[in-house]
Amino acid sequence: MKMTQMFGQTLRDAPADAEVVSHQLLVRAGYIRQLGAGIYTLMPLAKRTTDKLENVMRDEMNAIGGQEIFMPVVHPADLWKETNRWYEIGDEMSRFQDKNDRDMVLAMTHEEVVADLTRKDVQSYRQLPRLIYHLQTKWRDDPRPRAGLIRVREFTMKDSYSLDADEAGLDKQYRAHYQAYFNIFRRCGLPAVAVLSDVGMMGGSMAHEYMYLTPIGEDTLLICDGCGYMANRQIAKFRKPEAAGGEAAALEKVATPGVTTIQALAEFLNVTAAQTAKAVFMTGTFREGDADVQRLVFAVVRGDMELNDTKLANAIKSKELRPAHEEEIRAAGAVAGYASPVGLKNQDVLVVVDDLVKDSVNLVAGANEAGFHLLNTNYGRDYEAAIVTDIAAAEEGSACANCGQPLGVRRGVEVGNIFKLGTKYTKALGAHFLDKDGKEQDVIMGSYGIGSGRLLQCIVEEHHDDKGIIWPISVAPYHVHLVALRGGDEVASKLYADLTARGVEVLYDDREESPGVKFNDADLIGLPLRVTVSERTLKENAVEFKLRREADRAVVPIEQALETVLQAKQMLEDELLATLQPVEMDF
């Protein structure tokens, strides 16, 4: 491709709303342009890279038995109603009616469509196992798009779906994807780790997220250097300290004027935060029949810990969960800052207690009266809960549930996920098959996704310097940036033809620009190899050769230029292939 013919241009400055370096570079280098909030156009360079990313995905999916299909982006809502997700998912799902007033959905994902295909095309165990995948547009109306392609509303995803006759088959396909995803990310030059995660709206029995560890990530990960345990904070387990023992003392009401926080309470009463009970009010949305209803949720954790919203939402099976408003708290007969389940008269309040609070003795808690707290509250004697379970959040320094070592905290961007769905969707849509004994069974599903746009930007976040992008050879839009300076046009044109004939992808800067502009653009665009032809180099019957990732430049005789490029290209490709290693899955 000659730059005089290429659509788009580089920019000197990034837009003011570009928050992270990778977003800035993709805009400045002419890879993406914003159309609306969370909606981007991929320019020619980005489209070439995205095609390469997606072809790597195709390679790895085909290698584990995948068959590519193409499913619609617009779905009849009836499918989503059959699985109940029409009612469970909030405004993030875009709903509309067609001209015949039928409810329709813009695809967020394709589990319903796959289950529908399965009930139409799979009747016997002889047709299982199967693995299908596609690359298709998804739409999720995220209210807070940010950081370029990291968090968008419209995106392309490779989503694959495994179909099996039993759990053993699902385990096999899940493990195959577990390895294939590491292969994909390593071939693309992106370091990623797999962490246990919440199944979320997808449902099922197990999920892993593939995380690119970076400070720009929105996800908080708990990682143990001792045993290798890794999990998203949403579900991270940890070894809780031993609950304080002893005999239950008499309940005592004490005045605590103006004391509305755990820290202030501990200082006022000269106790530790671990000797208190923290009240957290949330409002949950629950599906009851054909309607959504809201209910106040009263969560109690020990004062030295924080509530984990995801654990709570999973425990109560709520559709949505948000902090309660003060008027909602008052309506329940509780007082914000002085609340506890003791003496709570409103039976509609759903009380959920962390298991450590249940086992702790003589905790200080609110008296449900402004300016007063209760000493020596004890679960079972003074109050009870609808649910007792782990709802506390793991923090940096929490003890690892496996080995007891302190957990560390890292930030990460989710670049892929895999789910064991089981029969959640096939049972709902009636996707059955006859087993060897002629008995009807539900097909068992798995779901596995990677967003190509987010992957593209994470690669840029990982591979850049202060001058621009440094693409891995496998996904660079072109292999070589060929720069022709004054006097070098004729030789550069011949080299362009020779390289192209040998299968080397070349971006040829044939513009009438200064050397400084051309070199700055070459560094900004970030192709792995650069070849410069100029009047100066031709006096030595040579060209200048440079790897983008290195500062050093070499003068190469013209007759060796083609072979030098081919060898360097092969070296960079071999480096990536050397990173492909088997990954153990020890769970």
State the CATH number of the domain containing residue 550.
3.40.50.800
Q: What CATH number is associated with residue 289?
A: 3.90.960.10
207 shares a domain with 271: no
Alpha helices, H only, 446-557: 452-462, 489-501, 515-525, 535-538
pLDDT in tens, 475-509: 999 999 999 999 999 999 999 999 999 999 999 99
- Long-range pairs, 519-524, Cβ under 8 A, ≥24: 519/483, 520/467, 521/10, 522/481, 522/483, 522/548, 523/467, 523/468, 523/548, 524/10, 524/25, 524/28, 524/29, 524/467, 524/468, 524/469
182 shares a domain with 77: yes
> Does 1 map to a domain?
no
What is the residue range of 343's domain? Answer: 252-389
> Does 404 map to a domain?
no
373 shares a domain with 289: yes
Counted domains in the chain: 3
331 shares a domain with 200: no
What per-residue string of b and e applies to 19-43 under the rule 16 or more CB within 10 Å gives b?
ebbbbbbbbbbbbbebeeebebebb
> Does 331 map to a domain?
yes
378 shares a domain with 310: yes
> Does 38 map to a domain?
no
264 shares a domain with 316: yes
Q: What is this structure's pTM?
A: 0.90
> Does 124 map to a domain?
yes
pLDDT in tens, 274-306: 999 999 999 998 888 778 889 999 999 999 999
430 shares a domain with 352: no
421 shares a domain with 279: no
pLDDT in tens, 81-136: 999 999 888 889 999 999 999 999 999 999 999 999 999 999 999 999 999 999 99
> Does 24 map to a domain?
no
454 shares a domain with 482: no
Q: Which pLDDT does position 104 carry in this prediction? A: 97
163 shares a domain with 210: yes
Q: What CATH number is associated with residue 192?
A: 3.30.930.10
pLDDT in tens, 7-16: 999 999 888 8
457 shares a domain with 495: no
pLDDT in tens, 516-572: 999 999 999 999 999 999 999 999 999 999 999 999 999 999 999 999 999 999 999
pLDDT in tens, 178-198: 999 999 999 999 999 999 888
> Does 204 map to a domain?
yes
> Does 296 map to a domain?
yes
531 shares a domain with 384: no
42: helix, coil or strand?
strand
